[in-house]
Structure 1
Amino acid sequence: MILLLLFMLTSTDMLALSDSSAGVSSETRIEESLSSGNLTVVQGETVMLVCTVLNLGDKSVSWVRLKDPNPQLMSLNNVTNSQNPRFRALVSDWKEFVLLVKNVKEEDAGLYQCQVSGPKHTSITRTVSLTVIEGNTEILDGPVIYVDPLSTLTLTCRVDFGHKTPEFLIWRKEDKILKFEGGEGMVEPYLEQDQQGRHLSHLHVKE
Structure 2
Amino acid sequence: MTASLSSLWSYSAVTEDRYHHALHADHHHLLPYFHEHQNASSITAQLGSTAFLHCRVNRLGDKTVSWVRRDGDQIKLLTWGLHTYSNDARYSLNFEHPNNWKLQIKYTQRRDQGSYECQVSTHPPRVFSVTLNIVAPLVDIIDARGSSISEKFYKTGSTIELKCTISQMPQAQTFILWRHGDHMLNYDTSRGGIR
Structure holding more strand per residue: 1
Amino acid at match of 1:170: I
The corresponding residue for 1:161 is 168
Structure 2 counterparts to residues 42-61 of structure 1, below 5 A: 42-61=46-65
Structure 2 counterparts to residues 47-196 of structure 1, below 5 A: 47-93=51-97, 95-118=99-122, 121-140=123-142, 141-161=148-168, 164=170, 166-173=172-179, 174-178=183-187
Amino acid at match of 2:58: L
CA distance in 1, matches of 2:39, 2:158: 54
Q: What secondary structure, in the 3-state scheme, does the structure 1 residue paired with 2:55 have? A: strand
Q: What secondary structure, in the 3-state scheme, does the structure 2 residue paired with 1:107 have? A: helix
Q: What secondary structure, in the 3-state scheme, does the structure 1 residue paired with 2:111 have? A: helix
Show CA shifts across 1:52-88 (max 9, x none). Answer: 1111110000011111332011111211111111111
CA contact (8 A) 1:48 1:98 kept: yes
Highest CA radius of gyration, 1 or 2? 2
CA contact (8 A) 2:39 2:127 kept: no
Report the CA distance between 1:128 and its aligned residue.
1.4
Amino acid at match of 1:111: S
Report the CA distance between 1:205 and its aligned residue.
5.1
- Two-structure CA RMSD over aligned residues (Å): 2.8
| TM score, norm. by length of structure 2 | 0.68
The corresponding residue for 1:186 is none
Q: What secondary structure, in the 3-state scheme, does the structure 1 residue paired with 2:53 have? A: strand
CA distance in 2, matches of 1:43, 1:151: 38
Structure 1 unaligned runs (5+)?
Answer: 1-19, 180-203
Assess, with a 3 A threshold, how the Cα gap between structure 1 residues 36 and 157 changes in structure 2: closer, same or farther: farther
CA distance in 1, matches of 2:40, 2:185: 39
CA distance in 2, matches of 1:144, 1:160: 21
Structure holding more helix per residue: 2
| TM score, norm. by length of structure 1 | 0.65
CA contact (8 A) 1:34 1:51 kept: no
Runs of 4+ with deviation above 6 angstroms? none
Q: What secondary structure, in the 3-state scheme, does the structure 1 residue paired with 2:176 have? A: strand
| Sequence identity percentage | 24
Report the CA distance between 1:149 and its aligned residue.
2.8
Q: What secondary structure, in the 3-state scheme, does the structure 1 residue paired with 2:79 have? A: strand
CA contact (8 A) 1:154 1:205 kept: no
